Chains A and B, each alone.
Chain A
Amino acid sequence: MSSTVTATPTTQSEHPVVLSPERSKLGLLRPDHGKSVIIDWLTTVDHKKIGIMYGAIALFFLLVGGLEALIIRTQLAVPENDLISAQRYNQLFTMHGTTMIFLAVMPLNAAFFNFLVPLQIGARDVAFPRINSFSLWAFVAGALVINFGWILQALEAMGLFSASGPTEGMNDFVPAMGWFGYAPITGIKFTGAGTDFWIMGLQILGIASLTAAMNFTVTIVNMRAPGMKMMRMPVFTWMTLVTSLLIVFAFPAITVALGELMFDRLFGTNFFVTAGGGQPILWQHLFWIFGHPEVYILVLPAMGIISEVLPTFAKKPLFGYPIVVFSGAVIGFLGFAVWSHHMFTTGLGKVATAAFSLLTMAIAVPTGVKIFNWVGTLWGGRVRFSPPMIFALGFVWMFMMGGFSGIMHSSAPADAQQQDSYFVIAHFHYVAIGGIFLAVVSGIYFWLPKMIGKMWKGNLSTWVAIFSTVGLNVTFFPMHFLGLLGMPRRTHTYLEGFGWETYNLVCTIGAYILAFGILLLVVDIIRCFRSGEPAGNDPWDARTLEWKTTSPPQVYNFGKTPIIHARDALWEDKYGPENRKCGEQAEDGHGIHMPSQSWWPLLASAGFIPLGLGLSLMQAGVPFMGYFAIFGLCLCTVGIALWAIEGPGGYHLHPKKDA
Chain B
Amino acid sequence: MKNIYHGILNSFATVVSLGILLMVTGCDLNTRMSTFKPKGPVAQEQLDLFMLTVWVTLGIFIAVGGTYLYVVIRFRERPNDTRPLPKQGHGNPLIEIGLIGISILLLVIIAVPTLKGIWYTQTTPNEPASRLGNWYTGEGLSEGEDENILTIKVFGYQWWWAFEYPQLGITTANEMVIPAGKAVHLELRSVDVIHSFWLPRIAGKVDLIPGRTNSMWIQAGNSFDRWQKERQDSIDSINATTAYETYLRDEIDGYYYGQCAEYCGDSHARMLFRASVVSDQGFADWVADHKEGNPTTPEGDNWNDWYATYDKDPDLLVGELNEGIKLFVGKAQCNSCHAINGNPRAAGVGGPDLTNLAQRLSLAAGWLNHHNEDGSIDESKQLENLTKWIHDPNSVKPGNLMWIARDGRGIGQLPQEDQLTIEESRKISLFLQTLK
Contacts and interface: CB of A to CB of B under 8 A. Distances in A.
Contact of B206 (A274, A320, A416, A499): A416
Contact of B96 (A323, A379, A404, A478): A323
A477 B18 contact: yes
A539 interface: no
A465 interface: yes
B75 A380 contact: yes
Contact of B46 (A357, A413, A420, A473): A413
A488 B25 CA distance: 18
A350 B54 CA distance: 23
Interface residues of A, number: 110
A106 B54 CA distance: 32
B269 A386 contact: no
Interface in B48-87: 49-50, 52-54, 56-57, 60-61, 64-65, 67-68, 71-72, 75-77, 81, 83, 85-87
Interface stretch (B110-118, B135-143, B380-388): B110-118
A255 interface: no
Interface stretch (B174-182, B188-196, B292-300, B424-432): B188-196
Interface in B259-275: 259-270, 272
B118 A353 contact: yes
B333 interface: no
A185 interface: yes
A481 B54 CA distance: 13
Contacts of A190: 192-193, 265
B34 A317 contact: no
A400 B21 contact: no
Residue among A85, A189, A495 having the largest count of chain B Cβ atoms under 10 Å: A495
A420 B60 CA distance: 26
Contact of A420 (B36, B92, B113, B196): B196
Contact of A373 (B25, B68, B96): B96
B11 A397 contact: yes
B207 A345 contact: yes
Interface in A378-394: 378-386, 389-390, 393-394
A411 B53 contact: yes
Interface residues of B, number: 113
B2 interface: yes
A411 B50 contact: yes
Contacts of A481: 25-26, 29
Given A315-B85, A413-B45, A491-B268, A502 B207 contact: no
Interface string A339-356: 000000111011001100
| Interface SS of A by simple majority | helix
B196 to A, nearest CB: 6
B214 interface: yes
Contacts, number: 355
B28 interface: yes
A319 B90 contact: yes
Contact of A488 (B21, B83, B260): B260
B100 interface: yes
B240 interface: no
A563 interface: no
A490 interface: yes
B31 interface: yes
23 contacts: A90-B266, A184-B192, A314-B86, A319-B92, A375-B68, A378-B72, A378-B75, A385-B6, A390-B10, A401-B61, A407-B110, A410-B110, A411-B110, A412-B117, A421-B261, A462-B3, A484-B35, A485-B34, A486-B35, A487-B33, A489-B263, A493-B270, A502-B25
Closest 9 CB pairs between A and B? Answer: A486-B33, A416-B204, A499-B31, A320-B91, A491-B269, A347-B214, A385-B3, A413-B117, A274-B211
Given A350-B119, A473-B21, A498-B31, 18 more contacts: A177-B263, A320-B92, A323-B96, A358-B111, A361-B114, A382-B75, A394-B11, A397-B11, A404-B60, A410-B110, A414-B204, A416-B121, A469-B10, A474-B21, A485-B33, A486-B34, A486-B198, A486-B257
